[in-house]
Amino acid sequence: MQKIIKPCGLHCIKVKHLGVQFGEQKVLDNINLHMHCGSLTAIIGKNGAGKSTLIRAILGDIPHTGTIEFRDTKDGKMQKLKIGYVPQSINIEKNTPISVYDLIASYQTKFPIFWHKKRTVYERIKRALKVFEADKLIDQRVCNLSGGQLQRVLLSMAIMDEPNLLLLDEPVSGIDQNGMELFFETMDYLKKHYDLAIVLISHDLDYVAKYADHVALVDKTIVKQGTVKEVYESKEYEEIFGKDSEEAWIDVEEDKLQEEVRKTSDIAKKFGVKEE
């Protein structure tokens, strides 16, 4: 487990001219992004804007153009970038006999997990889980965890390798308000006490406003980036979120209303309510 150290602020990850193409279609184009240790960068944008693709490109999961550099700005030396990744969800069905220990150990050790539970590995995983108050979950089945619990487990795993960069892909889905608050507080704690940069895809603009140091608004490329204030007050933000999001909200309300009306008339038909 990583020792708690103050972020030095000298490590810098630079994404330069990153582009991704699926066949003929350009999904991302000319992405430039700087991330410093001890800072939380939030990536926002609409569905299909390429946020998840950006994360996958940085991870090296899909081919991309451009470069990703990791430097110590103090002596300018290039280093190998270690990335911790927290995915949106994992493929574990209900009723799957995989415990939290099994999940983490499959990624962290070579010793066959089907043979027996290795004491040293068990202790190591437990220590990592403890950072996020999830050590009691170690023997539980992963499929029975709540959204918030699973997220803490995945975070523990991501931190185990002492990454320089922590990538989180929409991790707040399926979590209640309390859980969200806790999650963002944990992020805040991490960036202040660990030597790493955090990049987070988020849909919750209010929490981003409260916690992010740097915001990047993505729509195929980064249309606007800067501090929360700079981005939220920009015309690009207005174009993407401003009116649309309000309209979407109204749509939902209207749908609900119509649904209600339809239901009532259905019932009326069934039972033949007398009109007064």
Partner 1 sequence: MNYLSWLDYGFMKNAIIAILIITPLFGIIGTMIVNKKMAFFSDALGHSALTGIAVGVVCGIKDTTISMLIFAIVFALLLNKISKKSTASKDTIISVFSSCSVAIGLAILSKGGNFSEYSSLLVGDVLSITRKEIVYLVMIFVATIIFWIFAFNQLNAVAIHKTLAKSKNMKVEILENLFAVFVALIVTVSIKWVGILIINALLILPAASSRNLAENVREYHLFAVIISVFSGVLGLWVSYYTNVATGPMIVIIASVIYFATYFVGGRE
Query: Which residues contribute to the site for partner 1 (CB under 8 A)?
Result: 56, 59-61, 83, 85, 87, 90-99, 101-103, 105-107, 109-117, 139, 141
Cβ-Cβ contacts under 8 Å for 107 (sequence gap 6 or more) = 157
- Indicate the residue among 33 and 150 with the shorter CB distance to partner 1: 150
Comparing CB distances to partner 1, the nearer of 122 and 241 is 122
Q: Is 215 helix (H, G, I), strand (E, B) or coil?
A: strand
- Structural tokens at position 178: 């309390």
Question: Minimal distance in Å, beta carbon 105 to partner 1?
Answer: 7
Q: At what angle do helices 177-193 and 147-160 cross, to 10 degrees?
A: 10
Nearer to partner 1, 141 or 193 (CB): 141
Q: What is the smallest separation between the CB atom of 140 and partner 1, expressed in angstroms?
A: 9
| Cβ distance to partner 1 smaller for residue 103 or 205 | 103
Q: At what angle do helices 100-108 and 119-131 cross, to 10 degrees?
A: 110
Find tokens 């946020």 and name the residue: 51
Q: Which is nearer to partner 1, 72 or 102 (CB)?
A: 102
* Residue 169 Cβ vs partner 1, minimum distance, rounded to whole Å: 9
Least distance in Å: CB of 51 to partner 1? 14
How far is residue 129's CA from residue 121's CA, in Å, rounded to a whole number?
Answer: 12
Minimum distance from residue 173 beta carbon to partner 1 (Å)? 15
CB of 33 to partner 1, least distance (A): 18
Cα angle 250, 251, 252 (rounded to 5 degrees) comes to 90
CA distance 12 to 156: 23
Per the CB < 8 A criterion, the answer to whether 47 and 54 are in contact is no
Q: Tokens 């899909």 map to which residue?
A: 62
The CB-of-121 to partner 1 minimum distance in angstroms stands at: 11
Quote the strand ranges of 37-139, DSSP E.
40-44, 65-72, 83-86
Beta strands in the chain (DSSP E): 11-22, 25-36, 40-44, 65-72, 83-86, 165-168, 197-201, 214-219, 221-226
The nearer residue to partner 1, 25 or 95, going by C-beta atoms, is 95
Question: Which structure tokens are listed for 92?
Answer: 């574990």
Q: Which is nearer to partner 1, 96 or 265 (CB)?
A: 96
